[in-house]
């Protein structure tokens, strides 16, 4: 089986949000933008959600912080011999948690 990533799109989920929870419609707006990038040539599977991830817990002497992360869309192709499956996947990505 061969898995090929054709394109990746990623953006901060809630641009301009400094504090608090996202306002109604902000997630849907981010989702629609990623869907436009991906196009409608193949099925889109959305496993993203509005969720807060603690990056660093608050300690006695230090203030912790977290992130809503990015909303990311990936165009994928899975192939095995003569069978090809093209689809897109939308998910949450937290770049702060990635290790280089």
pLDDT, tens digit (0-9, with 9 covering 90-100), for 21-80: 898 989 999 999 999 999 989 999 999 999 888 888 778 888 878 888 899 999 999 999
Please state the pTM of the whole predicted model. 0.82
* Confidence category of residue 99, pLDDT binned at 50, 70, 90: low
Which is higher by pLDDT, 20 or 81? 81
CA 17 to chain centre: 17
Q: Are 26 and 65 in contact (CB under 8 A)?
A: no
Does residue 100 register a pLDDT over 70?
no
- What's the structural domain count of the chain? 1
What range does the domain containing 80 cover?
Answer: 2-97
Task: Classify residue 10 as left (phi > 0), alpha (psi -120 to 50) or beta.
Answer: beta
């Amino acid at each position: 089986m061969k898995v090929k990533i054709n394109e990746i799109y990623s953006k901060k989920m809630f641009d301009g949000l400094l504090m608090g929870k996202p306002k109604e419609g902000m997630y849907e707006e981010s989702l629609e933008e990623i869907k436009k990038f991906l196009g409608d040539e193949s099925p889109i599977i959305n496993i993203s959600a509005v969720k807060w991830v603690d990056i660093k817990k608050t300690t006695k002497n230090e203030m912790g912080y977290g992130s809503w992360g990015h909303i990311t869309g990936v165009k994928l192709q899975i192939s095995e011999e003569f069978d090809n499956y093209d689809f897109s996947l939308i998910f949450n990505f937290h770049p702060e948690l990635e290790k280089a």
